[in-house]
Amino acid sequence: MINKLVAYYVSAGVEDRYYRKLATEALEKFRNYTKTAVKFFKNTRSSYLSRSETHKGFIIPFEEIDPTYSDLYIILLPKNSRFQEGIGTKQTGGKTIVLILLKALNGDFDLTHADMNFQKTSFIHEFIHYLDQKRYKGKTKWSSKVNTFTDYYNNPAEFNAFYQEGAESVEALYQNVFKKTKGNIPIPFKKALKTVNAFYKFSITLFHKAFIENLNSRYRKKFLKRFAALYKEIKKKYKE
C-alpha cells in the first residue's frame, strides 16, 4: 500500500516541508539568541531577559528574535522543574499570546549551555503547534487532557506535530551524513533510498515509538501518505 501513496507527493510534501522549514529556522534563531544571552549574563552578572520567579527561569519574547512571531513567548525552565514542557495560551492586554515551555536550565536562572540543553525535537514539536495555532486562527485543540494514548496521538494537532518532528529528524540525519561524507553517503543510506518500504524500515525509528504504535487506521493512512512524500523528497535530493 505504501508504494501507491507516493503518488500523493505534491499535495502532502510541499506544505509539510514549508512548515518544517519555518520551525527549523526559528530553532536556529532561538539557539543563537540564547547563546548570546548566556555570554551577556556571564559578562555582566545580570540578565537582560525577563525573569519568571514562578518558573525560576526566563521569559523570552520571540518578537526580539523574529518580529514575525510577535505573539509567541518562550519560557526556559530548570531541567528539574515541576512544570512540564508544552504549549499553552494566555489572554493579556486584550490579545492571545502563546507560551512554549522548555526545560533548558541547569538550575534556577542558570543559562549555561541553555542553547543546547533542550531537545531539538521538543522545540520543533511545540513550534509546529504554534504555527498551527496561527494557521487555523486559534481553532487548534491541543491534546492536554485525554483518556488514552490512542486519543492523544490521533488528535489532529498532535498527529501533525509528532509527524513533523519525526520527519525533521529524518531530514537532519541525511543532511548531516551527506555533509560529513562530502556527498558520498554510506551504503545503508543509499540502499534505504531504493524503495519506499526500505526507507520506512530504515528511518521509522526516528519517529516517536508510541506515536507510531498508537495510530488508528485513519491516521495510519494519513501518516503513510505523508511519509511517502518525505521519501520522494529525500530520494530526489540525495540520489546519486
pLDDT digits (tens, 9 = 90+) for 155-199: 999 999 999 999 999 999 999 999 999 888 999 999 999 999 999
Mean pLDDT calculated for residue range 72-96: 91
Cα dihedral 165, 168, 174, 177 in deg (nearest 10): -80
The pLDDT of residue 156: 93
Which residues partner with 89 through β-bridges?
98
pLDDT, greater one: 239 or 230: 230
Rounded CA-CA distance 228/149 in Å is: 25
Contact 2, 200 (CB under 8 A): yes
Rounded CA-CA distance 169/154 in Å is: 21
Verify that 131 and 37 share a domain, yes or no.
yes
How far apart are the two ends of the chain, measured CA to CA in Å?
26
Verify that 125 and 43 share a domain, yes or no.
yes
CA atoms within 13 A on the CB side of 147: 0
Asked, for residue 221, whether it belongs to a domain, the answer is yes
Asked, for residue 21, whether it belongs to a domain, the answer is no
The pLDDT of residue 45: 44
Verify that 60 and 99 share a domain, yes or no.
yes
What average pLDDT does the structure give for the chain?
Answer: 87
DSSP string of 13-65? HHHHHHHHHHHHHHHHHHHHHHHHHHHHHHHHSS-SSEEETTTTEEEEEGGGT
Instruction: Indicate the SS3 state at residue 36.
Output: helix
Verify that 152 and 119 share a domain, yes or no.
no
Count of structural domains, the chain? 2
Asked, for residue 199, whether it belongs to a domain, the answer is yes
The pLDDT of residue 110: 86
Contact 77, 102 (CB under 8 A): yes
Mean pLDDT calculated for residue range 31-43: 74
The pLDDT of residue 10: 47
Pairing of strands 95-105, 72-78: parallel
In the structure, what pLDDT confidence band is assigned to residue 130 with cuts at 50, 70 and 90? very high
The pLDDT of residue 39: 67
pTM (predicted TM-score): 0.88
Contacts of residue 68, Cβ cutoff 8 Å, sequence gap at least 6: none
| Domain around 112 | 32-135
The pLDDT of residue 41: 59
The pLDDT of residue 5: 46
Mean pLDDT calculated for residue range 1-13: 52
Q: What percent of the chain has pLDDT over 70?
A: 86
Contacts of residue 60, Cβ cutoff 8 Å, sequence gap at least 6: 30, 33, 34, 37, 49, 50, 73, 74, 75, 76
The pLDDT of residue 138: 65
Is pLDDT above 80 for 62? yes
Asked, for residue 124, whether it belongs to a domain, the answer is yes
Domain boundary (93, 112, 135) is at: 135
Is pLDDT above 70 for 9? no
Asked, for residue 111, whether it belongs to a domain, the answer is yes
The pLDDT of residue 8: 47
Asked, for residue 17, whether it belongs to a domain, the answer is no
Rounded CA-CA distance 132/161 in Å is: 9
Rounded CA-CA distance 224/6 in Å is: 9
Rounded CA-CA distance 200/90 in Å is: 39
Cell matching residue 126: 511545540
